[in-house]
């Protein structure tokens, strides 16, 4: 392998902690823009690396003055924002631990995390979230301060409540007194900030991130500075070698994922600042805001979940709808040609001359026009958290945007695997083979082992008895907070993390997820089915099914499924086939539409054994989008769904009909625009 091909800018330094790493970037990049964001009035604001350093120090000095000490736990309950970054790094600069809390959680869920984590303070963003915390704060005796990020009604203020602006102002004054005039009055000595950073070791706890709790009580994942840093080094090194000539400091990150989630936190916050890039904060899945962010920020790299990329795909289709029919037809042909081209490459089949020519000419031209609407500078999109449709990968690559799939867990800080391009497929120790990315679509890639890693490289293996993926390396968590028994179950005596995912590993080390070991349906016949192995055949691929959940247990002889259809494609199908309807609820009762849904499921599952295919369907007119039924990254909370739909599921098994329609049966709020479009 010729190492000279790899970027000379790859990170090679092993830092003691995250704040030391960030301040190395602050020193190096100074006046360069570190963060950009939209203000409420729509204007764009930015902050240089030097200014970011002052914000972090101000939070540090303010928290220090309030009496917080190393390894105290301080929570952040906020949407993704620049304040999240100031608070997170200010907390860590003091050697304290950031406890991440999703702002969508209910008061009782926030209460559980604050009590379990023993948090002594919390940053909250909105007045609504401030009210949530105030409604439970008397039940948390350890909670000393509540720091309100946004303006709030003064009637909510009590002895614990401080506004973030007050905190920042006090911290800035303290910073000036200490660093400008050299006045010190605490135990850290004559150089308070730098001494604090020097006292933070790589194995010290940096953050507690609570798992989403899809199947049980949330667990606090203990992540150290070394966990995050080793993951950032390996992950960003793979990203920077995906194509020739990437200059890290010129990268424009598009930060949409929540920083409460380890994916958004490590990639958008830590990786971007690590390499001197600009973090462009969007922080929500609003299509109009995403559209404007693409146009204004002109991002080059983004990490997200399949749901987000489906949103972007819909944005592109919305843009196309305004064009003449001739243009739309040309684009559709380009997309179809791209799918054929990449499918053939994946199968090792030779493409016809016409297919190759259209891919190199028409596709290139159309891609340039479309991507210009998306900012025009895209180099990489990374999808994780769930399986993504091959069609979406083909679509974005046809437009000229490298899209790859990855894998990770909160317990691994989080990224462990990334698909490679042909250019960097051999950027792995003791691996000299060139691999076409499209021959590996459907896998999550190999582990993010890299050449000249300042940390130990990640290792993987498959349990020969169960097929479970096992991972070992510096990004593996310290354990679960106050849960040694669960930690021992997750990490064995040899340091291998048991991921819970059933996999196949090919001869090149590329991994394909087959399902979850902990989520298995056992039928009364004794047959065992992994729901994920069937569900991932449907929703990443189907154009008419938005959500699909397999149902069954040891009292049932066969499987059924809960189906949430897409509205627009089925309305178009109905109009095309002269199917009359007055409303959406009317349409999903039409036998031809129901037969179409069943036909779709049968076609997509035609290659699996018969007992793994659902025989009946519960059709829901509403999507599972509320926090009651899905995690913040849109993974199903199966127990909650099955509990609320238990009677309907029982009726489905009892009836002789293949379909049962569910309307207005779910017990929480739905934003239909999120899924059904």
**pLDDT tens-place string over residues 205-222:** 999 999 865 456 789 999
Total-model pTM: 0.83
Which DSSP string do the residues of 26-39 spell out, in sequence order?
Answer: HHHHTTSEEEEEE-
Nearest CA to 257 out of 279, 288, 229, 225 is that of 279
Q: Are residues 347 and 482 in the same domain?
A: yes
Q: Say how many C-beta atoms besides its own lie within 10 A of residue 603's C-beta.
A: 11
Assess contact for 528 and 518: CB atoms under 8 A.
no
Cβ contacts of 170 within 8 Å, gap of 6 or more: 61, 62, 65
Assess contact for 216 and 230: CB atoms under 8 A.
no
Residue 467 lies in a domain: yes
Residue 442, SS3?
coil
Q: Is 28 exposed, middle or buried, given 0-12, 13-18 or 19+ CB atoms closer than 10 A?
A: exposed
User: In Å, what is the CA distance from 418 to each residue of 384, 404, 476?
Assistant: 9, 7, 16
Q: Are residues 554 and 637 in the same domain?
A: yes
Q: Which helix (H) or strand (E) holds 254?
A: strand 252-255
Q: Are residues 168 and 283 in the same domain?
A: no
Residue 1 tokens, joined: 């392998």
Residue 479, SS3?
strand
- Residue-wise pLDDT for 479-515, tens only, equals 999 999 999 999 999 999 999 888 999 999 999 988 7
Q: Which helix (H) or strand (E) holds 600?
A: helix 591-604
Round to whole Å and give the CA distance between 160 and 9: 46
Query: Could you say which of 508, 530, 545 is where a domain stops?
Result: 508
Q: Are residues 486 and 571 in the same domain?
A: no
Assess contact for 420 and 446: CB atoms under 8 A.
yes
Q: Crossing angle, helix 362-373 and helix 353-360, to 10 degrees?
A: 30
Residue 225 lies in a domain: no
Residue 597 lies in a domain: yes
State yes or no: pLDDT of 79 exceeds 80: yes
State yes or no: pLDDT of 190 exceeds 70: no
Percentage of residues in the chain with pLDDT exceeding 90?
65
State yes or no: pLDDT of 517 exceeds 70: no
Nearest CA to 129 out of 71, 185, 79 is that of 79
In this structure, is the dihedral angle defined by the CA atoms of residues 660, 666, 669 and 675, taken in order, positive or negative? negative
State yes or no: pLDDT of 1 exceeds 50: no
Tell me the CATH number at 648.
3.30.300.30
Residue 395, SS3?
helix
Tell me the CATH number at 379.
3.40.50.12780
- Residue-wise pLDDT for 363-415, tens only, equals 999 999 999 989 999 999 999 887 788 889 999 999 999 999 999 999 999 99
Q: Are residues 471 and 527 in the same domain?
A: no
Q: Are residues 501 and 533 in the same domain?
A: no
Query: Could you say which of 200, 216, 245 is where a domain stops?
Result: 200
Residue 4 lies in a domain: no
Query: Could you say which of 163, 183, 200 is where a domain stops?
Result: 200
Nearest CA to 437 out of 360, 488, 371, 508 is that of 508
Round to whole Å and give the CA distance between 476 and 64: 30
Round to whole Å and give the CA distance between 455 and 449: 10
Q: Say how many C-beta atoms besides its own lie within 10 A of residue 73's C-beta.
A: 23
**SS3 per residue for 85-105:** HHHHHHHHHCCCEEEEECCCC
Residue 218 lies in a domain: no
State yes or no: pLDDT of 675 exceeds 50: no
| Residue matched to tokens 């490590």 | 266
| Residue matched to tokens 């301060």 | 145
Q: Are residues 498 and 550 in the same domain?
A: no
- Return the pLDDT at 563: 95
- Return the pLDDT at 664: 60
Residue 478 lies in a domain: yes
Planar angle of CA 258, 260, 262, nearest 5 degrees: 90
* Domains: count for the chain: 3
Half-sphere exposure of 580 (CA within 13 A, CB side): 0
Round to whole Å and give the CA distance between 348 and 540: 23
Residue 371 lies in a domain: yes
- Return the pLDDT at 669: 28
Q: Are residues 487 and 557 in the same domain?
A: no
Q: Are strands 403-408 and 528-529 parallel, antiparallel or unpaired?
A: unpaired
Percentage of residues in the chain with pLDDT exceeding 70?
94
Residue 408, SS3?
strand
Nearest CA to 545 out of 521, 522, 519, 573 is that of 573
Residue 219 tokens, joined: 């667990």
Residue 431, SS3?
strand
- Return the pLDDT at 666: 43
Q: Are residues 352 and 465 in the same domain?
A: yes
State yes or no: pLDDT of 672 exceeds 50: no
Average pLDDT (577-586) is: 90
Residue 676 or 368, more confident: 368
Q: Say how many C-beta atoms besides its own lie within 10 A of residue 55's C-beta.
A: 22
Round to whole Å and give the CA distance between 673 and 315: 13
268 band by pLDDT with thresholds 50, 70 and 90? very high
Beta bridge partners of 380: 301
Assess contact for 403 and 383: CB atoms under 8 A.
yes
Q: Whole domain around residue 185: which residue ranges?
A: 14-200
Q: Is 606 exposed, middle or buried, given 0-12, 13-18 or 19+ CB atoms closer than 10 A?
A: exposed
Cβ contacts of 39 within 8 Å, gap of 6 or more: 45
Residue 428 or 637, more confident: 428
Beta bridge partners of 619: 563, 661
Average pLDDT (241-247) is: 84
Beta bridge partners of 408: 415
Round to whole Å and give the CA distance between 197 and 95: 7
Which DSSP string do the residues of 286-335 spell out, in sequence order?
Answer: -HHHHHHHHHHH--SEEEE-HHHHHHHHHHHHHHHHTS-HHHHHHHHHHH
Stretch among 133-147, 247-261, 314-328, 467-481 having the lowest mean pLDDT: 314-328
Residue 569 tokens, joined: 């494609």
Stretch among 201-210, 284-293, 450-459, 645-654 having the lowest mean pLDDT: 284-293
Average pLDDT (29-34) is: 98
Round to whole Å and give the CA distance between 260 and 263: 9
Residue 283 or 545, more confident: 545
Round to whole Å and give the CA distance between 199 and 112: 31
Distance of CA 115 to the CA centre of its chain: 26
Half-sphere exposure of 306 (CA within 13 A, CB side): 21
Residue 207 lies in a domain: no
Q: Are residues 502 and 532 in the same domain?
A: no
Query: What is the gyration radius of the CA atoms in the chain, in angstroms?
Result: 26
Assess contact for 403 and 393: CB atoms under 8 A.
yes
Planar angle of CA 18, 22, 23, nearest 5 degrees: 120
Nearest CA to 282 out of 632, 37, 633 is that of 37
Average pLDDT (233-252) is: 91
- Residue-wise pLDDT for 13-26, tens only, equals 999 999 999 999 99
Q: Are residues 276 and 321 in the same domain?
A: yes
- Residue-wise pLDDT for 593-641, tens only, equals 999 999 999 999 998 888 889 999 999 988 887 777 887 767 788 888 8
End-to-end Cα spacing for the chain: 48
Q: Are residues 476 and 545 in the same domain?
A: no
Round to whole Å and give the CA distance between 164 and 73: 18
Q: What are phi and psi of 137, to 5 degrees?
A: -65, -25
Residue 513 tokens, joined: 């997820």
Round to whole Å and give the CA distance between 491 and 470: 9
- Residue-wise pLDDT for 81-122, tens only, equals 999 999 999 999 999 999 999 998 889 999 999 999 999 999
């Amino acid at each position: 392998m010729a190492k000279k091909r790899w970027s000379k800018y790859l990170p090679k330094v092993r830092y003691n902690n995250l704040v030391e790493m960030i301040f190395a970037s602050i020193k190096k990049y100074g006046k360069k823009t570190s963060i950009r964001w939209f203000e409420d009035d729509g204007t764009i604001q930015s902050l240089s690396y030097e200014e970011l350093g002052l914000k972090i120090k101000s939070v540090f000095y303010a928290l220090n003055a309030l009496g917080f000490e190393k390894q105290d736990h301080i929570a952040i309950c906020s949407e993704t924002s620049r304040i999240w970054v100031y608070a997170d790094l200010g907390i860590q600069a003091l050697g304290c631990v950031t406890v991440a809390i999703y702002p969508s959680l209910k008061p009782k869920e926030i209460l559980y995390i604050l009590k379990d984590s023993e948090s002594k303070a919390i940053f909250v963003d909105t007045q609504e979230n401030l009210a949530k915390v105030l409604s439970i704060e008397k039940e948390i005796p350890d909670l000393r301060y509540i720091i309100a990020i946004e303006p709030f009604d003064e009637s909510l203020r009590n002895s614990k409540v401080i506004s973030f602006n007050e905190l920042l102002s006090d911290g800035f004054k303290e910073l000036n007194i200490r660093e400008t005039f050299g006045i010190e009055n605490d135990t850290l000595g004559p150089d308070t900030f730098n001494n604090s950073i020097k006292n933070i070791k790589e194995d010290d706890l940096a953050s507690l991130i609570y798992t989403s709790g899809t199947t049980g009580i949330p667990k606090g994942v203990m992540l150290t500075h070394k966990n995050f840093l080793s993951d950032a080094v390996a992950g960003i090194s793979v990203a920077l070698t995906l194509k020739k000539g990437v200059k890290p400091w010129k990268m424009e990150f598009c930060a949409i994922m929540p920083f409460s989630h380890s994916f958004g936190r490590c990639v958008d916050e830590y990786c971007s600042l690590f390499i001197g890039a600009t973090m462009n904060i969007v922080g929500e899945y609003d299509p109009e805001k995403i559209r404007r962010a693409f146009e204004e920020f002109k991002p080059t790299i983004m990490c997200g979940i399949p749901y987000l990329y489906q949103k972007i795909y819909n944005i592109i289709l919305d843009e196309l709808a305004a064009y003449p029919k001739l243009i739309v037809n040309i684009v559709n042909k380009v997309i179809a040609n791209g799918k054929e081209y990449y499918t053939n490459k994946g199968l090792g089949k030779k493409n016809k001359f016409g297919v190759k020519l259209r891919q190199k000419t028409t596709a290139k031209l159309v891609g340039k026009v479309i991507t210009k609407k998306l900012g025009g500078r895209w180099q990489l999109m990374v999808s994780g958290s769930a399986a993504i449709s091959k069609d979406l990968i083909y679509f974005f690559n046809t437009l000229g945007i490298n899209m790859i799939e990855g894998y990770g867990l909160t317990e691994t800080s989080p990224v462990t695997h990334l698909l490679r391009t042909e250019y960097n497929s051999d950027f792995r120790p003791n691996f000299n083979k060139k691999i076409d990315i499209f021959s590996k679509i459907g896998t999550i890639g190999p582990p993010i082992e890299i050449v000249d890693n300042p940390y130990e490289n990640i290792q993987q293996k498959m349990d020969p008895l169960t097929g479970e993926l096992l991972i070992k390396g510096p990004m593996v968590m310290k354990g679960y907070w106050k849960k040694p028994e669960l930690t021992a179950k997750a990490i064995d005596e040899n340091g291998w993390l048991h991921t819970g995912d059933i996999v196949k590993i090919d001869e090149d080390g590329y991994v394909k997820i087959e399902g979850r070991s902990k989520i298995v349906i056992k039928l009364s016949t004794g047959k065992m089915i992994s729901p994920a192995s069937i569900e991932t055949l449907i929703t990443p691929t189907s154009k008419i099914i938005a959500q699909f959940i397999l149902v069954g247990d040891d009292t049932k002889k066969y499987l059924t499924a809960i189906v949430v259809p897409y509205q627009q494609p089925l309305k178009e199908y109905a109009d095309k086939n002269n199917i009359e309807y007055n409303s959406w609820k009317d349409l999903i009762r039409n036998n031809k539409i129901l037969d179409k849904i069943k036909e779709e499921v049968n076609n997509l599952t035609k290659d699996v054994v018969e007992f793994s295919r659902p025989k009946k369907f519960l059709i829901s007119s509403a999507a599972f989008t509320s926090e009651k039924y899905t995690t913040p990254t849109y993974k199903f909370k199966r127990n909650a769904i099955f509990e609320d739909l238990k009677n309907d599921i029982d009726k489905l098994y009892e009836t002789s009909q293949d379909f049962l329609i569910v309307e207005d049966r779910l017990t929480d709020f739905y934003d239909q625009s999120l899924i059904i479009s």
